[in-house]
Amino acid sequence: MQGLNDEQMGNLFLLAEVAAKMPKVEVVTKNADEFDSQNLTVKEESVKRNSVGELARKKRERKKLLCDLCGKIISHMKNHKMSHTGEKPYSCPTCDKSFSRQYKRNMHMKIHAVEKPHICPTYNNSFRLRHFCNVT
């Protein structure tokens, strides 16, 4: 570029280097012949960098760990390790049963419920859990 001193060229190259690292960014000056850092703007094109699809893809790719005990590729290593250690941190406050997963404990706790909201259409019996009234 004509008419730029060494400091201005250095600033321009530095800015171009930073801009190259940014996704889809264009460096624009108001007047290309007269470079002035005050007139420099960075304009982002219409890009959704964190679109839902991109976030979902990153989430799938983020955790692929190899279990050193069984060799399986695991997404949730902390939960998987409990299958090897036998750890069951979620216990039922009503009885002595413990569970490795919170959702399993929550399902179990329904057996202690007094209400029986599920009615078998065949035998007209009431059940605490829907799957108990499956007729085969």
CATH number at residue 97: 3.30.160.60
Q: Number of structural domains, the chain?
A: 3
Torsion angle defined by CA atoms of residues 22, 23, 27 and 28, in that order, rounded to the nearest 10 degrees: -140
* Residue range 78-93: mean pLDDT, rounded: 92
Does residue 35 share a domain with residue 18?
A: yes
What is the mean predicted confidence (pLDDT) over 85-99?
93
Based on the fold, state whether residues 96 and 70 are members of the same structural domain.
Answer: no
The H-or-E segment that residue 136 falls in is none
Question: What is the model's pLDDT at position 47?
Answer: 44
**Range among 26-35, 52-61, 118-127 with highest mean pLDDT value:** 118-127
The highest-confidence range among 33-37, 62-66, 85-89, 122-126, by mean pLDDT, is 85-89
Pair 77, 110 in one domain: no
Residue 116's domain comprises: 90-133
Q: Flag whether 1 is in a domain.
A: no
First to last CA, the chain: 82
Per the domain annotation, does 39 fall within a domain?
yes
With a threshold of 0.85, does the pTM exceed it?
no
